[in-house]
Amino acid sequence: MLFFYNCFSRFLLVLFPFSFVTGVFLPNLIVFILILITIFLKFEELKKTFTEFKKFIIYFFLFYVLMLFSSIFSESIYHSLETSLLYFAYALYVFALIIFFRSDEKNLLIFFYAFLFCFFTISIDAVYELIRGHNILGFSSIEGRISGFFNDRWVIGSYLVRFLPILVGIFFLNLNRFSIYTKFFTYFVILLSSFIVIFSGERVAYLLLLLFFFIIFLYFLIKKRSLKFSFLTILIVTSFFALPFLTSEKYSNRLKSNIYDYLTNYSLETNQYFALYYTSLNMFMNSPIIGVGPNNFRKECNNPDVKISKYSCSTHPHNTYFQLLAEVGILGFLSIFSVFIFFCYKLYNLLIDKFYGGIIFGKVAIISTFILNLWPFIPTGNFFSSWMGFIYFLPLSLYLIYKKH
């Protein structure tokens, strides 16, 4: 049974990084099967893991109960309740990953190599598309923007930047276990994928990458390991982020106009994001404690009591915290914002700690994932979508494993 569990789980989690290219069905299926085989083949270990991380379970359970209450008292009960009931699967997803990574020390490395090869493949294909105007499968760039294997979805930059700190974190947490060739190849893939994030034309991905590099710079600067390395980091980061402005008028104009418009245009008639944010606040004012129900923004945004312009309606408000205020009220907002503050505090402690090296830097990278994904001042995906759920909870499994390392 152990042999079957290891082989089949490895097969699933090797597919996992690539599965996002196909949409949400395949990642959902992989996680569902992984949870099932963990329950049936590792049930005793699952119970022990629940006990070991009971603080996480208590916090998650309280948020889960809040979601259920919010759904039950919402106008669209069944639509919202479906989201709430299924959300508990993410706790099982976290523990299934912990059990998998602990069952054999090779498993985490196999998972790392799968992500590394996935990043390399996606990035090389994107470079080909930049040069030829279409990727190796024949998918053409739309409006001059690269999308690679994601075809008509402009998410290649978001995918790479949100998983990049996880790749970096696993790499440095296990640095001594890699050959010199693997190390050089990993550095190359990190730089190549960062290059693709910049040229993807996605302003959010661009800003998140800048934030991640800024955290890296702070690490070397505060640790005072090498001022030369800190200044080298500044030079590399500056060069990277100057690339679109130096090499392509098309990319520079798009990034400048998008970022400038987001920061300066507050018109509810022309700025869709701000119209959605104000609509969210109106929903929050109507139901401030538990909100209108998870995933119910799309059901409520046409309500005359909250709608303020033609841009008021969408599937979600495109910002995590405005969505939480609208859909699960002040209690849900504080629950998740406190998680963001918690990891900011953890990052601060790691940065000022006297220790340094691969383990500490790996932890910094893993915690940076939470900072990036919960950063308040950017547009985001649907908080309750499976895409965002996988992004939020994957690094959590690694954090729980390594927090006492």
What local confidence, expressed as pLDDT, does residue 245 receive? 53
Lowest mean pLDDT of 58-72, 163-177, 233-247, name the range.
233-247
What mean pLDDT, rounded, does the chain reach?
85
Tokens of 274: 């701000």
Q: Provide the pLDDT confidence category of residue 202 given band limits of 50, 70 and 90.
A: confident
Rounded average pLDDT over 187-197:
89
Q: How many CA atoms lie within 13 A of 48 on its CB side?
A: 8
Helix axes 105-132, 156-173, angle to 10 degrees: 140
Domain spans, the chain: 105-247
Residue 252 reports pLDDT greater than 80: no
What local confidence, expressed as pLDDT, does residue 404 receive? 59
Residue 302 reports pLDDT greater than 60: yes
Residue 270 reports pLDDT greater than 80: no
Gyration radius of the chain's alpha carbons: 21
Residue 356 reports pLDDT greater than 60: yes
Report how far residue 359's alpha carbon sits from residue 364's, in angstroms, rounded to the nearest whole number: 9
Global pTM reads: 0.89
Of residues 286 and 227, more confidence is placed in: 286
What local confidence, expressed as pLDDT, does residue 111 receive? 95
Report how far residue 17's alpha carbon sits from residue 163's, in angstroms, rounded to the nearest whole number: 9
Could you write out the DSSP letters of every residue in 264-328?
H---TTT-HHHHHHHHHHHHHHHSTTT-S-TT-HHHHTT-TTT--STT--SSS-SSHHHHHHHHH
Residue 44 reports pLDDT greater than 60: yes
CB 378 within 8 A of CB 204: yes
Residue corresponding to tokens 């916090």? 59
Task: Specify the amino acid at residue 55.
Answer: K
Of residues 150 and 142, more confidence is placed in: 150
Lowest mean pLDDT of 82-86, 241-245, 352-356, name the range.
241-245
| Span 5-24, pLDDT tens digits | 878 899 999 999 999 888 88
Nearest to 61 by CA among 82, 28, 42, 84: 84
Nearest to 370 by CA among 394, 399, 338, 392: 392
Residue 377 reports pLDDT greater than 90: no
What local confidence, expressed as pLDDT, does residue 376 receive? 92
Residue 214 reports pLDDT greater than 80: yes
Residue 243 reports pLDDT greater than 80: no
Specify whether the backbone of 201 is left (phi greater than 0), alpha (psi in -120 to 50) or beta: left
What local confidence, expressed as pLDDT, does residue 71 receive? 94
Give the percent of the chain with pLDDT over 90: 50
Lowest mean pLDDT of 96-100, 235-239, 352-356, name the range.
235-239
Alpha carbon dihedral 10, 161, 391, 317, in 10-degree steps, equals -150
Nearest to 191 by CA among 156, 225, 237, 148: 237
Rounded average pLDDT over 199-214:
86
